[in-house]
Amino acid sequence: MSKIRSNIVQDFQSEFKKIEWPKKDFVIRSSIITIFMVIFFTIYVAGSDFLLSKVIFGIRN
């Protein structure tokens, strides 16, 4: 059992070393872009919802 576990750990470590991690500046830029896009689409969806509800309730009344 410990031999199998040892092989799994060794395989994991060797594969983990092969990972090419992104650079810090790339992660920061991607995070900033993602945050701005989430804010933009949140405002867009909220604005669309507000305007459509005004139109629909305006027609209904």
pLDDT at 57: 87
Average pLDDT over residues 17-30: 95
pTM, 2 dp: 0.64
Q: Is residue 10 helix, strand or coil?
A: helix
| CA distance readout (Å), 20 to 8, 16, 23 | 21, 9, 9
Distance CA 36, CA 12 (A): 36
Place of tokens 């305006």: 58
pLDDT band per the 50, 70, 90 thresholds, residue 21: very high
List the chain domain ranges.
20-61
DSSP code for 22: P
